[in-house]
Amino acid sequence: MSQATVPDAPSMLVTDSGWNERSRGLRRMKIVATSLLIFAAMVFLFARRMESTTDAAIWGYVRAAAEAGVVGALADWFAVTALFRRPLGLPIPHTALIPNKKDQLGESLGSFVHGNFLSEENVHEKILSATPSQHIAAYLAQSENRDRLVAEGAELGKALVQGIDDQQAQSLVRNAIFDQLTTTAWGPPAGRLLAAALEQDEHHGVIEGLLTALHRWLLEHRDRVAGAIADRGPLSQDGPFRWVHEQVGLKGADMLAQWVHQMRENPDDPARRQLDAALLRLAEDMQHDPVVVERVEGWKAAVLRHPETQRTVSAAWPAMKELLLGALSNPDSDLRERAGRYLADLADRLEHDDEFARQVDNRIADGAGYLVSRYGESAVQLISETVQRWDGNQAADRIENAVGRDLQFIRINGTVVGALAGLAIYSISELII
């Protein structure tokens, strides 16, 4: 098990805002308890004297009550004091328990906490009974709370993104992209995508866009196309035949442009049908023809080796980082607005969908139970090691300041109960003897 991090002892014993008040309360209760002891002792002495100088039987009862009260007060003073220090500084065995036994106390306290509070069953049951989903729903139902969560989450996200080493992130993203691209064959998935597009006629937009661009180019370069046709005429390029070639070239350029226009406007054009059939064959070949698949892989390798591809992939992380930081910094960004809407939807669903709320409660309880079962021993170790690092006398003073006021009531009760017990015993003895 990994060693739990233990804070330094001084940090565990820092004076809090109510420490002085508790100290004053402890001093007051000590004065009260000690004053009661002194009062009982004075009453005992006075009653003892009166008992020896008068014949009034009442003084015997007073003396017995006061005497037992003094004994009870002294016994409980000893018991309370022995917890924190040696009474009167005397080296009496089994005193100053906290300074001398703090290590065992820490171990026992850790075991007690783990056995009675940090058990998986207790934590699971307690969280389920608290219905955390309803508390979450009530909190998220308030828009200001959602805005606060989104803003704090954005700040946390920015800190995380800015804390990432750019070179390592860039290398990681680049390697991940290239590993995925190089290990995955492009042909079959590309063929499936093309086949799906052809089946749903989604390719017509692309074809028509290409034909539109081709038609525009033919119109803009009519003379160039006509010249190319004329240069390939069968007759002599010199003399009067040149004019014939030029007219044929112009006519051919116009007919070609008109044909492209008809293909664009009519999806049922025979040429379009032939093009669709060719694309469908290509889709099948890309999926099943080893030659075509290998050809696509060769083209893929060439693309991945291209310097521009390398630069584009290497620039992916800086672009992603800039995009993320911009979205997180802008209160009106789509990312933060979506986060706010998600939290609102979550609150509504937790409030109205009982099954979903139960699932959330169970998951929270299961998660807490897992953490307790996984790290409960570390908590025990933390308690034990923290107590071991405390200075014994300082720890005793601090614990006495924390609970000593209540312990003084034990001294007071001991005085009162002792007096009553002494009175009862004396009364019974007087009746019997």
Q: What integer pLDDT is reported at residue 44 of this predicted model?
A: 95
Confidence (pTM): 0.53
Read off the tokens for 78. 């000893």
Sign of CA dihedral 123, 129, 130, 131: positive
Q: What integer pLDDT is reported at residue 228 of this predicted model?
A: 79
Q: What integer pLDDT is reported at residue 235 of this predicted model?
A: 52
The residues, any chain, with a CB within 8 Å of residue 40's CB and separated by 6 or more, are 66, 69, 70, 73, 415, 419
- Give, to the nearest 10 degrees, the angle between helix 354-389 and helix 132-140: 100
Q: What integer pLDDT is reported at residue 153 of this predicted model?
A: 94
Average pLDDT per consecutive 10 residues, the chain (433 residues; last block may be shorter): 41 54 86 95 94 88 95 93 87 83 78 77 88 94 94 94 87 82 83 84 81 88 80 58 70 86 84 85 88 87 84 84 91 93 94 94 91 80 78 78 85 94 93 82
The span from the first CA to the last CA of the chain, in angstroms, equals 69
Q: What integer pLDDT is reported at residue 252 of this predicted model?
A: 82
Q: What integer pLDDT is reported at residue 8 of this predicted model?
A: 44
Count of other CB atoms within 10 angstroms of residue 2? 7
At 87, is the secondary structure helix, strand, or coil?
helix
Q: What integer pLDDT is reported at residue 51 of this predicted model?
A: 87
Q: What integer pLDDT is reported at residue 2 of this predicted model?
A: 39
Phi-psi label, residue 353: left if phi above 0, alpha if psi -120 to 50, beta otherwise? beta
Cα distance between residue 50 and residue 105, in whole Å: 49
At 320, is the secondary structure helix, strand, or coil?
helix
Angle at 203 between CA 200 and CA 207, to 5 degrees: 155
Cα distance between residue 222 and residue 214, in whole Å: 12
The residues, any chain, with a CB within 8 Å of residue 404's CB and separated by 6 or more, are 26, 29, 30, 80, 84
